[in-house]
Amino acid sequence: MTNEIFMQRAIDLAKLGAGYVSPNPMVGAVIVHNGKIIGEGYHQKYGEAHAEVNAVNWVLNKYVDAEKRLQESTIYVSLEPCSHFGKTPPCVDLIIKHKLAHVVIGCTDFNPKVKGQGIEKLRNAGISLTYGILEKECINLNKRFFTSINKQRPYIILKWAQTADGFFAPHGNLQYWITSATAKTLVHKWRSQEDCILVGKNTAKIDNPQLNVRLVNSRNPKRAVIDRDLELPNNLFLFDNCEETFVFNHLKTSINGKTKYIAIEEFDYLLPQYILYQLYLNDVQSLIIEGGSKTLQTFINANLWDEARVFTGQKHLFDGIKAPSIKGELLSTQNIETDTLDIFINKTI
């Protein structure tokens, strides 16, 4: 189980990069010498050093005999080391340069620029390899990255709150809060981990959401809104130019500061596909859809969702706008203060 223990540590380190490394994958690395961890690293920010570089530098900065230790060490990496020049040099070259004795890899990188080439280059350099350790967990770690690579669209998370009797909101365009303050803080944490948040026109107009992470100390995501005829007033928070914001509409394509208007010719049954492809072209690797009910149901009907996070509060409305209807595999259920959180996954795509 030793390999699994060190790989799990690499996975835990990789998660620290959530929200900061997209469109790159999250990666963690652990260097082990004689059964002891002597170096750690993870990819901390897009465009900066990769996990392997940070782990090797840790060793170089800590030990006088670093080169000798590295040559006697095993490096555990949650994802196949890159073999191409991007924002940074190839990590396989660094491993080969310092002559690490053994490399343990969690999963292969599906990116065509890598996909097995890193493994092949290490083999050709005479470095022994083990791969597929905690493979399922390593693939799940980068489900956003792999979805973008394989499906040319973001990983899609649906999020909504519903009353105990299954309503999304009251009639009459009224703002109505269903869940607890704890649930709200959790949602802000989720936002910090994803690239973009999408809402429909009515949600933007009624709630005037900021779609930021003001309740947690982290970075804000990009924002997106569907406004077919550009009817939303310019004084909404969405148009404050604080963050990059996409406005999907039928009338114009233009840029105003950080607000990007993207024209979509047909607002028909293919609308979700059009929106997702445009977001993919803008390096959006993951998307939370927060409402309204119609927008959520549109993506559900198109079977374009990967995960759904549904809060059920204790309040009853007895009448109003029905919550979206979804069929998926229930992954987990937990209590969040007075609310119940159900997480579903879509196994049909």
Residues that are catalytic? 52
Give the Cα-Cα-Cα angle 325, 313, 210 (nearest 5 degrees): 85
The whole-angstrom separation of Cα 202 and Cα 204 is 5
Q: Are 225 and 239 in contact (CB under 8 A)?
A: no
Closest CA to 345 of 295, 309, 296: 309
Q: Are 292 and 207 in contact (CB under 8 A)?
A: no
20 CB burial (10 A radius; 0-12, 13-18, 19+): middle
Cα first-last separation, the chain: 33
Q: How many helices (H) and strands (E) does the chain have?
A: 11, 17
Closest CA to 170 of 309, 296, 340, 316: 316
Can you read off the two tokens belonging to residue 304? 């374009």
Beta carbons within 10 angstroms of residue 130's beta carbon: 13
